[in-house]
Amino acid sequence: MFRKGFHYWRWFKRVTIYAAVFLILFIAICNIWLVLSTQKQVYGTAEVAPHRSVALVLGTSRKLSDGRANPYFENRMQTTYDLYKTGKVDYIIVSGDNRSRYYNEPLEMRKALIAKGVPSGIITLDYAGLRTLDSIVRCKEIFGQESIVIITQSFHSYRSLFISNYYEMDAIVVVADEPGVWQSLQVLTREVLARPLAILDLYLFNTSPRFLGEKEELNRL
């Protein structure tokens, strides 16, 4: 009886080790594939980026959980303004979560951009950008835009472009500045795990946006 139990324990231990090794390799391969296939589409500043008529700004909370300003939000707004100011974009879609009357990422982005000097008439709000895939697919299917510049941080840029490429969009990213090392390390850890999930969403689960609906026109001056 003891030998039988010991045998099962050794079998379980071996399977667990193999599963862990497979999972680590899968995560590593997905990350390498995703980054290498998109890195040439990433630009560091507005000045060096080519012109795109439409910018897609991916949403994040304006405030951190402790009430302080979110540097990811602030830096995305600054990069978007820089693109507008240098004539690299003509129209802007702000896409994010609108889960309640007290949490509205697109509206907050619109307010921040207008405060910087971006005309309200060129800003279109996408209230159903619940996650990256939703924002990108809705940009194409709902707003009819396939040639775009995406504004987000560097860690997020590769996954955004990978999804865009899957849907055969002509997309580039202009990266916004990232905050301190510790805060960046935390979100990068989550992103390393999000990349394999994105690949599974696209190639295995065929995941669609939660909301699509009717086509909409961009706001234009």
Distance, in Å, from the CA atom of 27 to the CA atom of 189, rounded to the nearest integer, reads 12
* Full set of structural domains in the chain with CATH: 37-205 (3.40.50.620)
Distance, in Å, from the CA atom of 24 to the CA atom of 166, rounded to the nearest integer, reads 24
Position 5 scores a pLDDT of: 56
Residue 4 reports pLDDT greater than 70:
no
Tell me the average pLDDT across 78-102: 94
Mean pLDDT value across the chain: 93
pTM: 0.93
All residues at 6 or more sequence positions from 67 whose CB lies less than 8 Å from its CB, including other chains: none
Distance, in Å, from the CA atom of 48 to the CA atom of 138, rounded to the nearest integer, reads 27
Residue in 2, 138, 156 with CA at minimum distance from that of residue 148: 138
Identify the band that residue 221 occupies on the pLDDT scale cut at 50, 70 and 90.
Answer: confident
Tell me the average pLDDT across 205-212: 94
Residue given tokens 């129209």 in the structure block:
91
Identify the band that residue 183 occupies on the pLDDT scale cut at 50, 70 and 90.
Answer: confident
All residues at 6 or more sequence positions from 10 whose CB lies less than 8 Å from its CB, including other chains: none
Least-confidence region, from 13-27, 51-65, 102-116, 174-188: 174-188
Tell me the average pLDDT across 93-106: 90
**Are 113 and 81 in contact, with CB atoms under 8 Å apart?**
yes
Position 179 scores a pLDDT of: 85
Tell me the average pLDDT across 148-159: 97
Percent of the chain, pLDDT > 90? 83
Classified as helix, coil or strand, 128 is: coil
Position 58 scores a pLDDT of: 98
Residue 118 reports pLDDT greater than 80:
yes
Is 84 buried (19+), middle (13-18) or exposed (0-12) by CB count in 10 A? Answer: buried
Beta-bridge partner residues of 185 = none
Position 1 scores a pLDDT of: 52
